[in-house]
Structure 1
């Protein structure tokens, strides 16, 4: 490997390390009962674990390696664009444009072949048209929902999120495969039993 390529890869990895400082709205409950915001790198790790656990439970052929690559890079744009809360309508209105601009910055730091490869994977995840991207999307949305259940719905309550508010986000994940329908259905049961989602308006 040439020194120039090595330096570009190391520079990109240094940038990617900043994902650890991008905070999400979901909360992590600490052993002493205190909470803090989850960061996007933790989210990606949890998402990768979910994908690893579930890939054999979904119907049809699935390239787990490709799905995991998408999981690893799908939120790198947040280093430049920031995290967009799923229930922030104003933020979501500008999310696509902000993240596309961030993708130009982030992936251009890599050697051209690697930058093009990662950019293509990011675009595949965003488009959601392949089995791997739909699987990764379902894992992504399930992870966010799971994190809210595990933390007692703190972020949901802070923002007045109701079950109806979650449907546009969770219904596409549920539709990916019966395995997701079962798991997310169980999470809804726990959320409702614990009063974690706000009452319908």
Structure 2
């Protein structure tokens, strides 16, 4: 390997390590009680596990490797753009612009062939441009919802999120496949039973 390419790869991996420092609004329940905020790297791992479990359950033929590649890169732009809370309209209004600029920085430090490949995966995910991208997006939305249910709806309560507020995020995930709809409906039932998400 060319030394400059090796240095670019190591530099990118060091940058990617910063994803562990990007906090999300979702909470992780700690053993023995208490909570802390989930970070984006933990989210990506949990999302990958979800995809691994569900890819054979859905009707569409899913290239798991491609879906997992999108999952691995989908939140790297948050290193520069930060996490955008789904229920913050002001932040959501500027999200696409901020994340495009962040993608220039994050993927631009790689050798051109690798940078174009990873950016292409990120863009495919964002656009929902394939069965794999839609599957990965469904998993992404479901993981965030699951994290809220697992933590007793703490982030929802902190931000005044109601059931109706979640439809715009969860309806597209439910539309990916009946398996997603079934699992998400079960999570809604748990949220309702636990008083986590007011009607």
TM-score by length of 1: 0.98
Aligned to 2:137: 137
How many residues end up aligned between the 2 structures?
199
Runs (4+) of structure 1 exceeding 2 A deviation are: none
Aligned to 2:126: 126
Aligned to 2:155: 155
Output the CA distance in 2 between the equivalents of 1:32 and 1:5: 46
Output the CA distance in 2 between the equivalents of 1:166 and 1:138: 14
Output the CA distance in 2 between the equivalents of 1:193 and 1:147: 16
RMSD: 0.5
1:48 partnered with 2:29: no
Output the CA distance in 1 between the equivalents of 2:59 and 2:6: 40
- 1:30-179 correspondence runs (5 A): 30-179=30-179
Gaps of 5+ in 2: none
- Residue by residue over 1:118-174, the C-alpha shift from the partner in whole angstroms, topping out at 9 and shown as x without a partner, is 000000000012100000000000000000000000000001111100000000000
Counterpart contact for 1:156–1:198, Cα < 8 Å? no
Q: CA deviation at 1:2?
A: 1.1
Output the CA distance in 2 between the equivalents of 1:3 and 1:129: 35
Question: Does the residue aligned with 2:31 lie in a helix, a strand or coil?
Answer: coil
Q: CA deviation at 1:3?
A: 1.0
Gaps of 5+ in 1: none
Counterpart contact for 1:20–1:39, Cα < 8 Å? yes
Aligned to 1:188: 188
- Residue by residue over 1:21-56, the C-alpha shift from the partner in whole angstroms, topping out at 9 and shown as x without a partner, is 000000000002110000000000000000000000
Q: CA deviation at 1:198?
A: 2.4
